[in-house]
Amino acid sequence: MTRLNRKRMIQFAIPVLALTLGLVLAKAVSAAPAIVIKNDGLCGMLGSDASGNPIFGGIGEVTTSVTNDNKTTITCKGTGIENDSGRGQSYKGFLCGIIDPFGNFLITSDSHATVSASGNATLKCTAPE
């Protein structure tokens, strides 16, 4: 990874972590072993610059948050997400912040995001790794 790409990833990671921390607040709805929360909150989404590098692409919605076996997974979806590359992009292993249903802030790199050429995007993060 070149110094420029590392710098871009850091510039991207900070706003996504801040947005995820500030906007994704899950509420515990059950004391059962698995907690599933649907349509709860907003999240920062990955987009793409003209060269295919990840950038902050916009705001999406948390469509599901699942906590099971001490792992929390969030799935976010968004439309109109910025993609200046003109083609679909896929990213994985970036830093992602999650607030679990118990109020714990978790940072993980168990992450994957896609954004289509038309700006439809999905982001998934699982913590702990």
Tens digit of pLDDT for each residue in 5-56? Answer: 555 555 555 445 444 443 443 333 444 456 666 667 899 999 999 999 999 9
Tens digit of pLDDT for each residue in 71-109? Answer: 888 899 999 999 999 999 999 999 998 887 778 888 999
SS (H, E, C) the chain: CCHHHHHHHHHHHHHHHHHHHHHCCCCCCCCCCCEEEECCCEEEEEEECCCCCEEEEEEEEEEEEEEECCEEEEEEEECCCCECCCCCEEEECCCEEEECCCCCEEEECCEEEEECCCCCEEEEEEECC
Residue-range domain boundaries for the chain: 3-127
